[in-house]
């Protein structure tokens, strides 16, 4: 496996990315608190199937460049579309987890001709989520991360908040402590840590145009059976936003299901590729 970092200019920013294989482009977008290395297990498996698997470090995540402002949803939706072009492709299969899923939904909503197939993990379509006390409590970080000083609090005690948040969102996972090395490395860059929190600072309860658009490309969503916040029924309820094939895959694991059960997850995803 190669972990050589490459760079591309897209949507006004210099993105770092990892790449394996050749063939049709598969763009893999990570979330928070995470990096492009979240796909280190899946990327070579996709490459082995005859694809060019590319996982960028999302906007502001070191070693991608630090933007001069916090990103809104439209910017996040346009990043993957610009990356597809910057990587010399006309279109791509897009895989997104967490914030990467939000960006992927937006990209497919804005430019369905650029996204041949959509895979999202851990986040039902945001336009369909109905708040409940359980969800609000589970997503309390959305409010906490907007507060002044939030990045510094997250960094305390060698990022003690990092394993804590993974435990909260994937309660049955007992990861090797080294699972967090890549995130600590990215966030040890203070500007990168601050930029990652910028996603939350800019988050608005008003849906952007990219998330209001119905999605017309085939979509597979992955629901974690052990996710304490969102349930498979939330993904099924989101079907109304999709006009093409829409498949809900229920797999073991919580929010980080792709890392909790990599073999099972990859097997299920590859059957749809």
Per-residue model confidence (pLDDT) at position 136: 77
Q: Report the SS3 class of residue 35.
A: coil
The confidence score (pLDDT) of residue 240 equals: 97
Distance of alpha carbon 266 from alpha carbon 126, whole angstroms = 24
The pLDDT, as a whole number, for residue 270 is 98
Grouping H, G, I as helix, E, B as strand and the rest as coil, residue 34 is coil
Cβ neighbors of 112 (< 8 A, separation 6 or more) are 215, 216, 217
pTM exceeds 0.95 for this model? yes
- List CB contacts of 183: < 8 A, sequence separation 6 or more: 33, 34, 35, 159, 162
* Length reported for the chain: 273
Structural domain boundaries in the chain: 6-271
8 A C-beta contact, residue 240 and residue 105: no
CB-based contact 139:110 (threshold 8 Å):
no
CB contact at 8 A, 241 and 127: yes
Which CATH number does 6-271 carry? 3.40.50.1820
Q: Which residues of the chain have a pLDDT value below 50?
A: 1
Distance CA 82, CA 103 (A): 12
Q: List phi, psi (to 5°) of 3.
A: -120, 25
Quick one: pLDDT at residue 139?
81
């Amino acid at each position: 496996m190669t972990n050589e970092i490459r760079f591309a200019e897209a949507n006004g920013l210099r993105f770092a990315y990892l790449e394996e294989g050749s063939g049709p482009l598969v763009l893999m977008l990570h979330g928070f608190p995470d990096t492009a290395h979240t796909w280190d297990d899946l990327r070579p498996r996709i490459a082995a199937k005859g694809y060019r698997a590319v996982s960028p470090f999302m906007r502001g995540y070191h070693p991608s460049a630090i933007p001069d402002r916090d990103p809104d949803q439209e910017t996040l939706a346009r990043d993957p579309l610009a990356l597809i072009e910057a990587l010399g492709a006309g279109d791509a299969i897009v895989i997104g987890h967490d914030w990467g899923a939000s960006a992927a939904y937006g990209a497919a909503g804005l430019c369905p001709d650029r996204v041949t197939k959509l895979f999202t993990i851990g986040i039902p379509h945001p336009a369909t989520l109905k708040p409940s006390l359980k969800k609000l409590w589970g997503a309390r970080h959305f409010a906490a991360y907007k507060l002044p000083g939030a990045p510094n609090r997250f960094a305390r005690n060698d990022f003690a908040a990092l394993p804590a948040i993974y435990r909260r969102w994937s309660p049955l996972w007992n990861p090797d402590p080294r699972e967090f090395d890549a995130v600590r490395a990215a966030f040890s860059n203070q500007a990168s840590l601050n930029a990652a929190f910028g996603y939350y600072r800019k988050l608005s309860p008003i849906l952007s145009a990219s998330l209001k658009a119905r999605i017309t490309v085939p979509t597979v969503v992955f629901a974690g059976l052990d996710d304490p916040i969102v349930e498979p029924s939330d993904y099924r309820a989101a079907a109304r936003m999709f006009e093409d094939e829409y498949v809900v895959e229920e797999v073991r694991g919580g929010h980080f299901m792709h890392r909790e059960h990599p073999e099972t997850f990859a097997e299920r995803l590859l059957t749809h590729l």
